[in-house]
A and B are shown apart, each in its own frame.
Chain A
């Protein structure tokens, strides 16, 4: 095996390792990664989200688990010996390379103003920088000096505005100083910058454009920042975000040529003049030009991975288009945003009242789109960006006027790039559709389009529609509606039976897809439409899956498992003893579940009522483990016992579990509460997770374990308990109302147009005006809850259904047989009708 050394483990270095390990199926390369930072590569683009959670783990990129990769953290490369083809690290480690890839990134540029190195001056690049800024802000809050605590950000670009947001989150009044005449000079023009400034100032950020920072002086425990027009700003913190410089020292010291403005000079295949040394990302100057964005860096990583495996990829050029939301303001720029092309014309629509600025740059004959800027409303971004270089399908003014209507996706030329993250064109999408990719997930799978920033997903939908692919939302052959539509129909028409629903809005007699879905909708709405009803009442009984029908979980041999509710995982010794006695008396296999409860396996249908009689008498109730419903709210031990806990996680978990128990949903719902940032309850793997902070609770939503693990995302932070509960109420009810059948919150959130921001708008800011309805629905649910198993035990008709054989009620099913395994009953596996004993573990357990 040959050795490639990767100097630097940022996002681009990480992408190289992923690309190389993924493609190097013949195992030609071993990879040594030398990282300067103490943590593996993380999502630096999302650094500003760190101030919401202060959880660096939340930024983590997927870990590399591969025996070919050696990752050395906190041990950066300090010297290259090109003659011996060896690199040296700061700890004295030496490693010989066959190929060396420099991915050292860039360093923040700190202008050499007097006082730039005072304590209280920071840069904005790593979680450690943010920790230091936070500590400084907290120190400032504790001083008794007069006036508001404030922070000055030097640089009004993208990063500077993010830094201003961070300072605002920390309770400081932010001031932004920009040397250019307007904000974000790299991305937007003067008109867009002016509107952006209005928005930003409306949020309490003071902006000083066209000003240089001339000096920073210590001033009675604080600092004084002097600007070129004589303005003096009192401040507690200064953050420099005045651009970056490529980190090219290693290459310089090794005698490799640099670009005119710095950066390791490489050709279009990312190779330096030394054929064994490559450079990628922000430290590389491709034919002299450096790129400060991650997408071109990723493209370079892919080029080098290909080259190392004998390919001949070249850098395809970079699209520096960007679309982002800054302090809640949409900003986008694409193509030749500044109109630098010869004879370029600009068409501008500027409406400061509506908060909307749009500019298109077109060729001198006004027929070809060259670029543009959008501020305030960037919905047209996907289409317009894809049109760059193509003939305009309409008058440019009409394209950006608010009444101009949506552009037809079929107007896009074949070569237009739909997904710039993965350089996927209209043509490629078209071919994938022809080959059978008929849905957005299928297109993601086979073209990778939409798997980067995701901003092109709406465009993918339009392209599918333009190709005549109807995105069927029909639940099954009996209903042409989606689950969400059926939910609205049932809520509006107050239909309470399947027969009436299928007669009026469907066809046939239903199936195992639509019946449980309708049963779930009827159950979700029962508190409003038919209070006091039971899921096994009347016709509804025939709609239920076997689990709901017998209020237990069907196992592979036809027996059921029983899980009583143990809210928050807290249980008394007496109740534990009852569970043990019941399991022993009915011969049940027992196991602790992942949701902090106890599962009793192997119950025959006719045993269930007797088992539950004992459990209900002991104070247990249904745990709904059998239902598409709230399962558990797991908790850590919290402040009562834990030395580190900052909030009562157990108490909150119990109250949440009792509040939402019995709520029927499109799929199961799992939750957890952690009492501190150590997150012992693993709340971020749940549909909703709550993590305690010093002052309240952070709410995370849309997490998932299972087949496709996904970390829950921070919806809102530092909530008091009442607001937290109200927000979860709305989250759950909005999910119940709008998700597809068997869609967990994770994929629901991924497919929700507008994603997390939209969700927050709906359930926090009430943008759809439905919060009162959601609140009322949850109130009705909580008030109407009753234990389903108690309901069965009190109803002789329902009890009568719990028999193995209707004509021989006392006879157990002879096909169910058990063998003993590790001291407990387990199913005897059957083959060809005969029981087959699967050999047990041959390990002598006692010897371990």
Chain B
């Protein structure tokens, strides 16, 4: 039997510190993760690395929606990614990793296992 894998959750910030529709970047096990709070209050965590520019900037993009799906636009070359899936809506062959995210005692945590 292999050793059980235990999810590892990293604290990011207080939920109340997140500005709706504006991301923050967090260091999660050495990786840069972008965390977003939507207008409705939902949380999403994606890799912060923009695959088109290779810069670590997705958290600084503008959050909005396309056809009702919550999105972030890369601040570099403006490709739009769906927050829930990480899929690039301008080029569906490209996507960024997504991470589980939760709130514990008012603190936002991201899972990196």
Contacts and interface: CB of A to CB of B under 8 A. Distances in A.
Contact of A511 (B22, B35, B65): B65
Contact of A542 (B19, B27, B76): B19
A806 B13 contact: yes
B56 to A, nearest CB: 4
Given A558-B57, A815-B49, A511 B64 contact: yes
Instruction: Report the contact-size class of chain A (Cβ under 8 Å from the partner).
Output: 35 or more
A811 B53 CA distance: 22
A556 B76 contact: yes
Contacts, number: 100
Interface in A797-820: 803-808, 811, 813-816
A811 B27 contact: yes
B61 interface: yes
Interface string B7-22: 0001111000101111
Interface in B54-113: 54-57, 60-68, 70-71, 73, 75-76, 78, 80
Interface in A547-604: 549-550, 554, 556-558
Given A556-B76, A813-B56, A815-B56, A508 B64 contact: yes
Contact of B67 (A477, A546, A815, A833): A477
A815 to B, nearest CB: 4
Given A546-B60, A556-B76, A509 B55 contact: no
Contacts of B20: 539, 542
Contacts of B10: 807
Tell which of B10, B27, B54, B64 has the most Cβ of chain A within 10 Å: B64
Given A511-B64, A515-B64, A516-B62, A556 B55 contact: yes
A806 B10 CA distance: 12
A721 B60 CA distance: 43
Given A804-B25, A807-B27, A830-B54, A512 B12 contact: no
B63 to A, nearest CB: 7
Contacts of A257: none
Nearest to B74: A512
A545 B62 contact: yes
Given A477-B66, A509-B64, A815 B55 contact: yes
Nearest to A544: B62
Nearest to B11: A807
Contact of B22 (A499, A541, A558, A803): A541
A550 B55 CA distance: 16
A389 interface: no
A545 B71 contact: no
A510 interface: yes
A6 B10 CA distance: 78
Given A542-B22, A807-B12, A807-B26, A512 B56 contact: no
Contacts of B35: 806
B32 A512 contact: no
Interface in A821-836: 830-831, 833
A512 B81 CA distance: 12
Nearest to A547: B75
Contacts of B57: 546, 554, 558
B43 interface: no
Chain A CB count within 10 A is highest, among B19, B20, B80, for: B19
* Residue from B49, B70, B75 having most chain A Cβ neighbours under 10 A: B75
B45 interface: no
Contact of B62 (A511, A803, A811): A511
Interface string B23-43: 011110010100100110000
Nearest to B55: A558
Contacts of B13: 806-807
Contacts of A510: 62, 64-65
Contact of B53 (A508, A556, A808, A816): A556
Contacts of A556: 53, 55, 76
B91 to A, nearest CB: 16
A366 to B, nearest CB: 57
Nearest to B64: A511
Given A512-B73, A813-B32, A806 B61 contact: no
A828 to B, nearest CB: 11
A508 B68 CA distance: 6
Nearest to B57: A558
A509 B26 contact: no
A109 B57 CA distance: 70
Q: Taking each of A550, A554, A557, A558, which has the highest tally of chain B beta carbons within 10 Å of its own beta carbon?
A: A558
A813 B26 CA distance: 10
Contacts of B56: 558, 813, 815-816
A546 to B, nearest CB: 4
Given A512-B73, A811-B27, A805 B32 contact: yes
B66 A512 contact: no
A807 B64 CA distance: 24
Nearest to B21: A542
A94 to B, nearest CB: 58
Contacts of B54: 830-831, 833
Given A542-B21, A805-B25, A512 B65 contact: no
Nearest to A546: B75
A208 B105 CA distance: 94
A545 B75 contact: yes
A512 B24 contact: no
A516 B30 CA distance: 32
Given A510-B62, A542-B19, A558-B53, 12 more contacts: A477-B66, A478-B64, A508-B64, A508-B65, A509-B21, A511-B66, A546-B61, A558-B55, A806-B26, A813-B56, A815-B32, A833-B54
30 contacts: A508-B64, A509-B38, A509-B39, A509-B65, A510-B64, A511-B64, A511-B65, A515-B64, A541-B19, A542-B20, A542-B21, A545-B75, A546-B57, A549-B22, A554-B60, A803-B24, A804-B25, A805-B32, A806-B13, A806-B17, A806-B24, A806-B26, A807-B10, A807-B13, A811-B27, A813-B25, A815-B49, A815-B55, A815-B56, A816-B56
Q: What are the nearest 9 A-B pairs in CB distance?
A: A512-B73, A558-B55, A546-B75, A511-B64, A512-B62, A806-B24, A542-B22, A546-B60, A542-B21
Interface of B: 10-13, 17, 19-22, 24-27, 30, 32, 35, 38-39, 49, 53-57, 60-68, 70-71, 73, 75-76, 78, 80
Interface of A: 477-478, 499, 508-512, 514-516, 539, 541-543, 545-546, 549-550, 554, 556-558, 803-808, 811, 813-816, 830-831, 833
